[in-house]
Chains A and B, each alone.
Chain A
Amino acid sequence: MRKIAFFIALTIVACWFAADRARAAELRIPQNATAGQPLSIGTSGSGEGTLYLIGPGEVIKQKIQLGQNIEIKPEQLRHAGRWVAVVRGGSNPQSQAFWVNPGPAENLSFLARPSRVPVAKQGVISGVAFVFDKNQNLVLQPTPVNFSLTVGGSGASQSATSSNGVAWVRSSSANKAGAAQFVASVGGNSVRRVVQQVASDPCNLRMHVAQRKQDQVVLETDPIRDCTGNPVPDGTIVTFIETDKTGRSVVDARIKKGIARAELPASDNANVTIAAGVVLGNELHLGGGK
C-alpha cells in the first residue's frame, strides 16, 4: 500500500514538473501592437530561453529570461503585418502569431498625371496618394488626405479619404497656363508635384503684311494666343502658304516672342493663308493695291 502511495506521489510530482515546464513557454502578446512603437511580450516559466520574432522581411533573435517580460524596441518592430513569436526554452518550443498595425500616417507617395496638360480641360489631372507611416508601412485605416492644385497663386483644394491606403482625386486644368503646383498632404507632411499647364490650340490666328521689299513680302501674325488668352509657346509651327501664278510657296515659321513671321516671294496677285496644326487663320490677297 505504501508502495502504491509512493508511486502516485511520484507521478504527481512528475506531472507537476511537466506542467511547470509547459507553462514556462507561454507567451502573452498584446493584440494592438503598432509598428514603430515598443512592444512588451510576457512570458512565464523559468530559466533561460530564446525568442525568435519572424516578421515581414525581418527576423529578430534574442536571449530571454523566462518568466519576465520581454521588451521589443520601436526600431526592432518597424514592419506592419503578420509576425510570429517563437520561444525556445526547455524542451517544448512555443509559438504565437500576432498582427502589427501600421503607425499613424506620416508619409505620402504621390503620383500626379500627366506632367503636362493643356489648359481648360475637364478632369484631365489625376492625383493618387499612397499613405504610409514613418516606417513606410501602408496605412490601411481611412485617413484624410488634402490635395491642392494652384497655378499663379490661384487654385483649389479638395480632400479625399484614403481607402486601403490609397486616396485619389481628379481635377480639371485651370484656364491659366503655367507650372501648377499639385500638393498632397497628410499630417504635417506634404509632397509636391508640378503639372505644366500649357496653352491650347491657337485661336483667332491672324496675319498682316509687316514689310514689303523689292522681291519679298514679310508677313507677321498678331500675338498668337489660345482661346483662353494664354500665349502659344514659342517654337510652335505656323505655316504660311502663298499661292500665285508661279506656284505655291510655303514657310513653316516658328513662333518667336509670341508672333510668327515669314518672308515670302513678292507677287502682284497672290493669296496667302495661314495655319497652325489643324487650326486655320485668316486669308490675305497680295497685289492689286490690297
Chain B
Amino acid sequence: MGRILPIIFAVITLGLIAVGTVHKSNNAAASSPEGAVQAMLTNIQGHDWKDAYSYVAPSSNIDQGTFIRDIAGRDGSLRTYSSLESFNTRPLNEGENQATVRTEMKYSTAVGAFYDTRDLKVVKDSGQWKVVWNAEKAPTVPPQVIPVNYLRWDIIWRGNSDDWGAQNVENPHVRILSMNPVQQPSGLSIMGEVVNEDTVPAFVSVGAALVGKNGQDMAQESSFDKTSHVLLPKEISPYRIDFPGVKISDVKSARMKPDAMLVPASADPVIGVLHQRIEKDAKGRTVLKGELLNESGQTVNIPHVLATFYDNTGKVIWVSDGYGDHALLPQTPQPFAVDLRDDLADKVHSYRVTVNQYSLNRQE
C-alpha cells in the first residue's frame, strides 16, 4: 500500500503532462473551399502559423516566412502590433477544382480596427482544398546613399542656477485659422485648422469647451489623434474635436483652447502625398486615395494620414484620418485611403492631406 499511492500519483502526473503537451491538430483536410479559408484563418487567429500555412496551395509559390510576414506584418508596421480579431467568408463562385471566396478580415490594433477584404482563390490540390495566397511583393530599395542634412531643434531650458529674472525660452506661437461646428448624427464636431506661426517646432493640442444655454460648461474635449501634434514652423494642421451625443441647439458658445509647447524635433522625414483623388472603393464608399512617398532614408513604421476637406468657400467641412498598416520604406510609394462621409462627397471642393509619422528609431 505504501508504494501504490506514489505510483498512482506519478501516473496521474505524467498523464496530465501528456494532456497539457499534446495540442489538438487543427489542420484537418477541408471539405469545401470556404472551409479551407476558415480553417486557415482560424489558425492565423491562434498564431498557429504552421497549420495555417498547411492550407496554402503550393501554387502560391510562397514560403512560410513570407506568408507569416505578409499576415503578421513587417518593418515595425502597425500590422505587427495587430491581431486578427474576426473574419467573414462568402463563396463568390465554386467549381469542381477552383473557387473564389470573399474574405473580410478584421484586425484589432491599438488605434482601432483594421479591415482587409480579399477575394481568395481556392484550388483543389491532391483532393484537398487549398488557398492560393498571393503575398504582397515586398518592395526592395536599391543600395544607395541618401544624404540627409535636415535640421534638428534642441532646447536648453532655464536652469536652477539662473537668476529669477532670466527668462525661459518662449513657447511657440500658434493660431487657430478656422473653426467650424458641424452637427452629425452621432454628435457635434468642431473642426478647423491651426498653424504654427513661429520659427521653432511646437507640440500643439487643440481643445474646446462647450458652454450651454445656461452659461455653464457642458463638455470638454480635445482633438486627440484628429490632428498633427508636432508642427514645424509655418506648418498647418487640421483638427477635429468630437462631442458625442451633443446637439448644437443646446450649445451657446464654444471656447477654443490651443496649447503649444516648445519641443525638440527633427525636420525629417519628408513624406510626399502623391496622386490624391476622391474615388469610390470596392464597397461603394467614398474615399480619398493616393500614395505616400517617404523621401528620407529611414523607414517610417506607422504613417498616419490626416485629410482636410473644404467646401467651395474654403471652409473646412470634414477632417478624416487613417493609419497605414504598412511601413513606409525609403523612396517607395505606398497606397493609402481615408474615408469621406458619403453625404459630404458632393460638397467637397478641395482637400489637403498631411502625414504624421511614428518611427521606432527616432528619439523625438
Interface residues of A (CB under 8 A from B): 109-116, 130, 191, 193, 198-199, 201-202, 232-238, 246-254, 256, 262-265, 276-278
Contacts and interface: CB of A to CB of B under 8 A. Distances in A.
B275 A246 contact: yes
A265 B295 CA distance: 13
A112 B275 CA distance: 49
A251 B294 CA distance: 10
Given A116-B198, A199-B199, A235 B232 contact: yes
B17 interface: no
Given A234-B267, A254-B151, 14 more contacts: A110-B165, A112-B167, A114-B167, A114-B170, A115-B169, A193-B166, A198-B199, A201-B234, A235-B153, A235-B233, A247-B274, A248-B277, A264-B274, A276-B234
Contact of B267 (A116, A199, A254, A276): A254
Contacts of B9: none
A263 B165 CA distance: 47
B290 interface: yes
Interface in B145-163: 149-151, 153, 163
Contacts of A278: 177, 195, 236
B248 to A, nearest CB: 28
Given A115-B169, A254-B232, A254-B267, A233 B354 contact: no
A198 B200 CA distance: 10
Contacts of B200: 116
Given A109-B165, A116-B200, A237 B232 contact: yes
B272 A235 contact: no
Interface of B: 149-151, 153, 163-170, 177, 195, 197-201, 232-236, 267-268, 270-277, 290, 295, 351-354
Nearest to A233: B199
A249 B232 contact: no
A256 B147 CA distance: 13
B354 A236 contact: no
Contact of B274 (A111, A130, A265): A265
Contacts of B195: 277-278
Contacts of B150: 235, 254, 256
A237 B198 CA distance: 11
A228 to B, nearest CB: 14
Contact of B165 (A191, A246, A249, A262): A191
B276 A249 contact: yes
Contacts of A116: 169-170, 198-200
A251 B272 contact: yes
B354 to A, nearest CB: 7
Nearest to B193: A278
Interface centre among B169, B271, B275 (most CB of A within 10 A): B275
A183 to B, nearest CB: 13
Nearest 8 CB-CB pairs, A to B?
A: A247-B277, A277-B234, A109-B165, A235-B151, A249-B274, A236-B233, A237-B235, A251-B272
Contacts of B235: 237, 252, 277
A265 B275 contact: yes
A115 B168 contact: yes
A250 B165 CA distance: 45
Contacts of B270: 251-254
Contact of A249 (B151, B166, B168, B272): B272
A115 B201 CA distance: 15
Contacts of B234: 201-202, 236-238, 276-277
B199 A250 contact: no
Contacts of A276: 234
Nearest to A279: B234
A113 B171 CA distance: 12
Nearest to B169: A115
Nearest to A254: B267
A246 B272 contact: no
A199 B273 CA distance: 29
Contact of A252 (B149, B163, B354): B354
Contacts of B233: 233, 235-237
A263 B272 contact: yes
A240 B272 CA distance: 10
Contacts of A235: 150-151, 153, 201, 232-233, 267
Given A253-B270, A264-B272, A193 B167 contact: yes
Contacts of B272: 249-251, 262-264
Contacts of B273: 249-251
Contacts of A198: 198-199
A111 B166 CA distance: 7
Interface centre among A109, A110, A248 (most CB of B within 10 A): A248
A287 B233 CA distance: 32
A290 B175 CA distance: 38
A287 to B, nearest CB: 16
Contacts of A256: 149-151
Contacts of A265: 274-275
B352 A250 contact: yes
8 contacts: A232-B199, A235-B151, A246-B277, A247-B276, A248-B277, A249-B273, A249-B290, A254-B270
B166 to A, nearest CB: 7
Given A115-B169, A247-B290, A249-B273, A236 B149 contact: no
B308 to A, nearest CB: 11
Given A116-B200, A254-B267, A248 B168 contact: no
A153 B166 CA distance: 23
A177 B273 CA distance: 34
Contacts of B276: 247-250
